[in-house]
């Protein structure tokens, strides 16, 4: 009558994934929308291998995204990379913890190429 349950579930997941990707792409290209709140708490900044990592609380649809600022001072001035991942969390503390973990991993993998 309407296809199998598996086909309907797959179609639903495909639509959901497409909508989530489109939302993320719009946010990256055009910035935060009115429904998003962004909070940067510089007191939460940590030092890691010469980089500064600041978790950023960004709310979307009642949850927190995994976001952080990665900064480093260079002779020609400071540089900054904004880390944004689609992972969502119910608690701010979980979002901060994962943001720091992902930022450390990115620094270990890419180093100064982050700013290139």
30-41 tens-digit pLDDT: 565 544 567 888
Tell me the whole-structure pTM to 2 decimals.
0.68
Question: 69 with 80: CB under 8 angstroms?
Answer: yes
79-109 tens-digit pLDDT: 999 999 999 999 999 999 999 999 999 999 9
Q: What is the CATH class of 33-115?
A: alpha beta
3-state helix, strand, coil in the chain (%, to 5): 45, 35, 20
Confidence class of residue 70 from pLDDT cuts 50, 70 and 90?
Answer: very high
Sequence ranges of the domains in the chain? 1-31, 33-115
């Amino acid at each position: 009558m309407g296809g199998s349950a598996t086909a309907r579930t797959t179609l639903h997941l495909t639509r959901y994934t497409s909508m989530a990707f489109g939302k993320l792409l719009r946010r990256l290209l055009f910035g935060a929308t009115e429904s998003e709140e962004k909070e940067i708490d510089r007191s939460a900044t940590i030092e890691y291998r010469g980089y500064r990592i600041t978790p950023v609380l960004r709310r979307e649809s009642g949850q927190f995204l995994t976001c952080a600022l990665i900064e480093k001072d260079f002779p020609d001035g400071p540089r900054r990379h904004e880390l944004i991942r689609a992972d969502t969390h119910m608690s701010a503390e979980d979002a901060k913890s994962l943001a720091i973990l992902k930022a450390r991993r990115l620094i270990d993998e890419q180093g100064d190429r982050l700013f290139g």
